[in-house]
Each structure stands twice: as C-alpha cells, then as structure tokens.
Homo-oligomer: A and B are copies of this chain.
Amino acid sequence: MANKVQQYIDQLEKLDIKNMYENDFFLTWEKTDDEIAAIFAVADALRALREQNISTKIFDSGLGISIFRDNSTRTRFSFASACNLLGLEVADLDEKKSQIAHGETVRETATMISFMADVIGIRDDMYIGKGNAYMHEVVDSVTQAHNDGELEQKPTLVNLQCDIDHPTQSLADALHIIHELGGVENLKGKKLAMTWAYSPSYGKPLSVPQGIIGLLTRFGMDVVLAHPEGYEVMEDVVKVAEKNAAECGGKFTVTNDMKEAFKDADVVYPKSWAPFAAMEVRTDLYGKGDFDGIDKLEKELLKQNAEHMDWVVDDEMMKLTKNGLDTLYMHPLPADIQGISCEHGEVTAEVFDRARDSLYKEASNKPYVIAAMIFLAKQKDPVAALKTLLDAGKERQSFLEKK
C-alpha cells in the first residue's frame, strides 16, 4: 500500500533542494530543475498519503494568509485546501474590510498580518509590472521584520498568480501532462500548442500562457505559442522560453496560425488572453485614474477580439492534432464554452465535454502543488518528514475501518 509514497520519497531523495528551505516561490524559471522535480514528487506524495487516509499535518497551529486582489474560486479553495492539509488555518486579508485604504505602506501591512503567519499566498494579476513587484515588496518586508526581531518566523510566499507567471497553475498543468504521458521523461520531443482562443470577455491574464511557455520548454518539448497578430505576450518570458528550449534540446516557436500550432500536437492548451501592449496601456490609464480611457480601451479590445472569433477549438481543429479527438486538451478553467456560457467562445461543447474528466484531474493537482511549495519551504529535511508521516500513519479521518 505505502509503496507509492515511498517511490516519491525515493525520487525526492536524489534531488538537490537545499535552497528551497525557508525560501519563497515567485516564478518557475527562478527554480532549478531539481526544485521543480521536487514540487512534483512532494505533490504526488502528499496526494498518495491522503488517498491512504494518512495525516500530513506538519503544523499544530499557524496561519496561512491569503490576499486575493481579484475574484477567485478555484485558487482560493486550492490554497485553503493546501493549508488545511498541512495544519494551517486560513486568514484572508479582505482589503475592503481592512484599513489598507488609509494609505498604509505595503511594508507595514505585510508585517502587521504576519505575526503568526507561516505562509502568505497572493493573487495579484491585474496590472502589468505590479503583481510580482508587490509580492517582492511583501517578501522583502517580512524578511526584514523577521531579521529585526518583529516577526517570530518569516512567512513563505506562494505566488497564486501575478502579472508574469502563474506557477501553481503551470506546475499543476505540467504534473497533469506527466501523469497523462506516463512520466516526465515522456515529454521530450512532444509537441505542445499553447494557443490564443476567442473569448467574448477581455483582459484575461497573460500569466497562464506565459507560465506555460516558461515552464514546459524545460522538458525538451516542442512548444508552439500561437496567437493573432497583436496578442503578443511579455517579451521577457518569450526569452525565457527560448533559452529553456535551447538548453533542454527542445523547441520554442511563435506563430500567428492556430492550425499550424495544432498540426500534430500531442497537447493543446487554447485559452484567451489580452494583448500585453494593451495591458501596459491599461496599467498606465489606471495609474492616472483615467477610467474613461479604460472604458474606451475595453471597447477597442472587445472589437479587436471579435475579429478573431475563428480562433475556437472544435472537432475539426482537434482532428489536426497527433491523436485527433483523443489528444490532450488543457485549460485552467473556467472556459468560455460555445453554446453553454457564451454564443462564441474558446471551445465547443463537444470538445470540452470529451475533455472534462481530464480537465478536472488537471485542476485537482493545484492544492497538492501549493501544499508541496509550503512543505518544501518549511521542512529542512522533507525526505525525513515524509517518511515520518508515512511511518506514523496517523489517520486523517479516524475510525474509518472499525466494524
């Protein structure tokens, strides 16, 4: 029964992950290959332990602080689940109920909420150049406060989505591909199409496509980024993807042709996003408080979107791929499903329904990925920690087996 967990522990044991302890998680490309592999191993180990009804609580008390600067269901519940799995209680900083509007500095707020915080999870993806910077400011603040003796512990940051990357999503996605293809070694040479798709809404975050091209290029895959002209992503991340591909013996190409991307793809990931350049403009307008300008920009972008309604995934498109209708279709959810949640959207109901089970499994990785990030930041010797949990075998739910 316990062999499955032991197998993940064995994987973990071979990795050099000493820098993860007491560290933070901002961007996947700031982490070594061993560190990325450790996230996968620990996520799978925690899931296997839970499936065997073995408790993985490593905290007797402690808080996981969440800050959501945008609406969220699945990331909110994933974070809550991960914290609960490890023994932390979630305390949400609802900025509407706080005094932050009183002109308080990030440094002060970060310190004030962290007196007993072991983790801080932040989602801040709305404005270019802001979200990741804000997370760094928070981490710098709590690090200094810890060094100055104001905080008993330095909480670990988990990036729950910023303007640059969405690491808990891209790692959950990558883990899903690994599970579906039967091992990380099987990703080498496989073609992944990260493509734009039409949505009737505008301004969807760039962090998903950026996260995918920044991470999946590391496994020797043939990653194609496809989007209409004008929907370019952040140039810095394109460079990361190019560098990764060069170093890993994979490929990274950009095209404006969705069909070309789909052609013979092993994995397709079609999803709407906003043009990076427009999001930069929007951030400037927001900074100036020019809400009329923002309204005007929104209308222009919706019009621009509408020119590309043909970027939709239907059965015809799927048939272009390597395994046709059976090819792995991915999405972070919720998707704009044509005829279900909108008239024209990212994907037809046929394609979506066929992929539903796989999509939900993809999503089910996120709580474990977040828990793995926390676990690795909080355990000096995660191998010993996992072994201890496995050997202790404390029931998560008690008395299950009694008759």
Contacts and interface: CB of A to CB of B under 8 A. Distances in A.
Contacts of A60: 55, 57, 394-398
A52 to B, nearest CB: 10
A97 interface: yes
Contact of A116 (B104, B145, B342, B367): B367
A109 interface: yes
Contacts of A378: 397
Contacts of A251: none
Contacts of A59: 396-398
A106 B400 CA distance: 30
A72 interface: yes
Nearest to A394: B60
A326 B115 CA distance: 25
Contacts of A58: 397-399
Contact of A152 (B50, B71, B103, B112): B50
Interface stretch (A78-86, A130-138, A219-227, A232-240): A78-86
A81 B115 CA distance: 8
A91 B77 contact: yes
Given A68-B97, A334-B108, A398-B385, A115 B78 contact: yes
A74 interface: yes
B360 A150 contact: yes
Contact of A380 (B149, B150, B385, B403): B403
Given A97-B71, A360-B145, A77 B115 contact: yes
Nearest to A371: B116
A104 B93 CA distance: 26
Nearest to A55: B60
Interface string A46-69: 010011000111111111010010
Contacts of A401: 380
Contacts of A395: 60
A228 interface: no
A151 interface: yes
A248 interface: no
A121 to B, nearest CB: 14
A180 interface: no
A379 to B, nearest CB: 6
A90 B149 CA distance: 27
Contacts of A84: 61-63, 89, 91, 116
Contacts of A89: 80, 84, 89-90
Contacts of A118: 397
16 contacts: A56-B61, A57-B61, A60-B398, A63-B81, A73-B98, A73-B100, A73-B113, A81-B116, A84-B91, A102-B341, A104-B333, A149-B357, A150-B363, A151-B364, A380-B401, A384-B399
Interface of A: 47, 50-51, 55-63, 65, 68, 71-74, 76-78, 80-81, 84-85, 87, 89-91, 93, 97-100, 102-105, 108-109, 111-113, 115-116, 118, 145, 148-152, 201, 333-334, 336, 340-342, 357, 360-361, 363-364, 366-367, 378-381, 384-385, 388, 394-403
